[in-house]
């Protein structure tokens, strides 16, 4: 725990791990995060949550636009061990090699399954009965490094992305704090992944959120709505004129099972149970029908 660390992270998922390392009194010399970014129509600048957390705890903050910009800091002030949790940028091998024993990465999937940027969504989309938290040694090839440890997480089949995201962020932070001392003192060594079993999940876009009942079954769309809650959001047009965001749905047995039901692929039916109306209000399907005089 006396080993000095540099923490790489940007997304909200990173914050739980950073806070856990701070609470466990690991020596964090700096936090590396993405530059501030603009959000929404107002284009106001937003600071990554880990930047705010680092500032609150008087930890040095680095926000490089290019990874080469931190090489001098690491060389001049090292040696460091690196910790990376949901940073969102590729780290070149030349930078990884400046750290001892490299950079340690927390990834929320059962590697080598779901390498890539959307493993939490992928586990829900595919209806998996379990996922995992993997702590691995970072390499330049995406999520392909040897694995120190994995923790299996059972899934109920009803999780939404925000719920599973929060659970894995907290459980992953605890696993990182528990495992890190053995990695730093060299008593825990990583095992190579089986590349032949690797699967990949893509970076999600807004286009992924368009519901396509002609192309997918109701169970597939129900999982999609849970996986895409928050972003990219599941969108459709009702009654040929109302653009809505679907926030909750269930599989129905017929078109008459619920107030709003979509006919889907393979003669399956999806009940829209909750949605965000064009007004921006979240409401039940029944309230939507009454409010919009459908």
Contact yes or no for 269/259 (Cβ under 8 A):
no
The arrangement of strands across the sheet holding 4-8 comes to 60-62, 27-32, 4-8, 81-85, 103-107, 130-137, 147-154
Distance CA 130, CA 110 (A): 9
Would you give per-residue pLDDT tens digits along the chain (294 residues)? 568 999 999 989 999 999 999 999 999 999 999 998 877 777 788 899 999 999 999 999 999 999 999 999 999 998 999 999 999 899 999 999 999 999 999 999 999 999 999 999 999 999 999 999 999 999 989 999 999 999 999 999 999 999 999 999 999 999 999 999 999 999 999 999 999 999 999 999 999 999 999 999 999 999 999 999 999 999 999 999 999 999 999 999 999 989 999 999 999 999 999 999 999 999 999 999 999 877
Alpha-carbon separation of residue 273 from 152, 193, 269, 285, 286 (angstroms):
31, 42, 13, 5, 8
- Rounded to an integer, what distance in angstroms lies between the CA atom of residue 63 and that of residue 46? 13
CB burial of 142-154 (b: ≥16 within 10 Å; e: otherwise) equals ebbbebbbbbebe
Please give the domain boundaries of the chain with CATH numbers for all domains.
4-197 (3.40.50.170), 206-291 (3.10.25.10)
pTM over 0.85: yes
Tokens describing residue 57? 């705890």
């Amino acid at each position: 725990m006396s080993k000095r660390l540099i923490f790489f992270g940007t997304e909200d998922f990173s914050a739980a791990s950073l806070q856990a390392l701070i609470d466990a009194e690991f020596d964090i010399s700096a936090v590396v995060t993405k530059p501030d970014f603009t959000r929404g129509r107002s284009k106001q600048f937003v600071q990554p949550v880990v930047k705010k957390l680092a500032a609150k705890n008087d930890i040095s903050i680095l926000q490089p636009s290019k990874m080469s910009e931190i090489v001098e800091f690491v060389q001049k002030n090292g040696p460091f061990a690196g910790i990376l949790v949901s940073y969102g940028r590729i780290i070149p091998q030349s930078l990884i090699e400046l750290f001892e024993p490299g950079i340690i990465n927390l990834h929320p999937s059962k590697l080598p399954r779901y390498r890539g940027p959307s493993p939490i969504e992928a586990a829900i989309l595919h209806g998996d009965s379990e996922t995992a938290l993997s702590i691995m040694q970072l390499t330049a090839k995406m999520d392909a490094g040897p694995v120190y440890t994995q923790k299996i997480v059972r899934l109920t089949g009803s999780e939404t992305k925000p719920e599973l995201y929060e659970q894995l962020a907290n459980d992953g932070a605890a696993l990182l704090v528990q495992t890190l001392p053995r990695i730093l003192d060299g008593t825990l060594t990583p095992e190579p992944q089986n590349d032949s079993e690797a699967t990949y999940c893509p970076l999600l876009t807004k286009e992924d959120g368009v519901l396509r009942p002609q192309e997918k079954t109701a169970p597939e769309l129900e999982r999609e709505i849970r996986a895409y809650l928050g972003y990219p959001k599941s969108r459709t047009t009702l009654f040929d004129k109302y653009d809505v965001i679907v926030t909750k749905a269930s599989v129905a047995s017929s078109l008459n099972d619920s107030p709003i039901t979509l006919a889907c692929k393979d003669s399956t039916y999806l009940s829209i149970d909750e949605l965000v109306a064009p007004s921006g209000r979240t409401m039940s399907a029944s309230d939507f029908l009454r409010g919009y005089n459908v």
